Amino acid sequence: MMRKTAPMALAGAVALALGACSSGGGSGSGGDGAGEITYWLWDSNQLPAYQACADAFTEANPDTTVKIEQFAWDDYWTKLTASFVGGSGPDVFVDHLSKYGEFAAQGQIVALDEMIERDGFDTGVYADGLIDPWQYDDGSVYGLPKDWDTTAFFYNTEMLDDAGITAEELWAADWNPDDGGTFEEIVAHLTVDANGVRGDEDGFDPTNVEVYGLGINPNFEETGQMQWANFTGTLDWDYLDTNPWGTQYHFDDPEFQQAIDWFYGLAEKGYAPAAGVFSDETPTQLGSGQVAMGTNGSWATGSFMELDGVDVGIAPGPVGPTGERASLFNGVADSISASSDDPEAAWQWVQFLGSTDCQDIVGEHAVVFPAIPESSEKALAAFDEKGWDVSAFFSYEEEGRTFLPPITLNAGEVNAIASVAFEDIYLGNTEASSLTDANEQINTVLQK
């Protein structure tokens, strides 16, 4: 279904999240930069694709080479912040919607408007609205889009079969914060204790679980993208009073707090691993044979599909109280560091990264969905050639909604407060009602 209508589905998914329009086509061009420029990214799965882009860029611009450095997510932002403080940041780096506002406010990244206008770079090549969130509240653009993503649920097909659950039933699951709906019923039935008793059967021992129905990523942050966002996105709720650049969070909303208590409460029921059981994300959890299903982003598809001895399927998030399924929608971009010694060469590299030339290469690697629709079509063809059905990531366009991560100033301080608050709930130290106090702290930060 989605393979035949990919460009329409892609444009619709973006438009639902961003509510804006653009169109066009074209590619970036090389420049007169010289020497070596550095490029940082966090996703190791994308490293081969961008190394291929770097090789193609240097072939077209023999005087400029690109040194790519990859760091894991948490280390990435720590190192990046430290490099800005020390004036030694990379020339170009992969930026995130929830992070860039702080960098722009502190003058650590370069506004691209003058260079875009000077070189006639066509920002209309990107899918509808993808570039709009990268316009800071000063009116300037601080990044060129490179890809987009949604999240879904990866599952062990053999465990689903053994439990007598069909893929169609998982796709049709519903959810609510009161009893978890049919989604929790599925999770409970997928859970098996050491005696072979399932989570919805008499005699189930939640203290001695052999297979958890749902894995939980050990990622605590204000977006909830890797944990609870597929559920809270189906409520009549949003992170902020206005997004982007809101000044009031809504973590004090009673229905949101009920949903958070439900989500972390799955561990207390034995349906999900308690804190400390796993230190790695859901690909490793599924690969261990101890987890039947877990959420993750479209960027992680290869990590799941290439698990040794595990046949993996993908289903979208469940339909919630609003009658829709939902996913956080994120589109990352490339930004130029204000500390770059060669901003002109950095700009030429950013143009190339944002062009059809590079995004076609990325699409053919079947890792992510590029920001340019024609390149995303190539990605779909590459996924299809591998036999990987990725239609779940497009399902929100036809059957639900997508929504932006919270984009604010002082995002680092906000995340520091939120991550501790959510982890404390998971650890069992407090209940979700404690988020009201955290929300007050966050709002104080945003009013600075």
Task: Assess if residue 208 is contained within a domain.
Answer: yes
Task: Assess if residue 1 is contained within a domain.
Answer: no
Strand partners, 109: 337
219, 318: one domain: yes
Count of structural domains, the chain? 2
Q: Is the pLDDT of residue 405 over 90?
A: yes
**With b meaning 16 or more CB within 10 Å and e meaning fewer, what string describes 382-392?**
bbeeeebbbbb
Give the number of other Cβ atoms within 10 Å of residue 333's Cβ.
Answer: 26
- What is the pTM for the complete model shown? 0.90
CA-only gyration radius of the chain, Å = 22
Q: Minimal CA–CA distance to 193: which of 184, 185, 182, 204?
A: 204
304, 182: one domain: yes
CA–CA distance, 180 with 194 (Å, rounded to integer): 24
**The pLDDT value given to residue 399:** 83
Q: Minimal CA–CA distance to 329: which of 6, 15, 94, 17?
A: 17
Task: Assess if residue 220 is contained within a domain.
Answer: yes
366, 441: one domain: no
CA–CA distance, 404 with 181 (Å, rounded to integer): 25
272, 418: one domain: yes
145, 205: one domain: no
pLDDT in tens, 314-371: 999 999 999 999 999 998 999 999 999 999 999 999 999 999 999 999 999 999 999 9
Q: Is the pLDDT of residue 70 over 80?
A: yes
Task: Assess if residue 341 is contained within a domain.
Answer: yes
Q: Tell me if 151 sits within 8 A of 229, measured CB to CB.
A: yes
Instruction: Name the residue range of residue 296's domain.
Output: 151-327+410-446
239, 92: one domain: no
* Torsion 189-193-194-197 (CA) sign: negative
Q: Please provide the average confidence, as pLDDT, over all residues in the chain.
A: 91
158, 279: one domain: yes
pLDDT band at 261 (very low <50, low <70, confident <90, very high): very high
Residue type, position 154, single letter: F
Task: Assess if residue 240 is contained within a domain.
Answer: yes
Q: What is the CATH number of the domain that holds 74?
A: 3.40.190.10
The answer to whether the bond into 244 is cis (omega within 30° of 0) is yes
**Helix H or strand E segment including 312:** strand 312-315
pLDDT band at 34 (very low <50, low <70, confident <90, very high): low
323, 374: one domain: no
**The pLDDT value given to residue 29:** 34
97, 211: one domain: no
Task: Assess if residue 271 is contained within a domain.
Answer: yes
CA–CA distance, 254 with 54 (Å, rounded to integer): 49
311, 352: one domain: no
54, 142: one domain: yes
Task: Assess if residue 288 is contained within a domain.
Answer: yes
260, 181: one domain: yes
CA–CA distance, 138 with 112 (Å, rounded to integer): 12
Q: Is the pLDDT of residue 19 over 50?
A: no
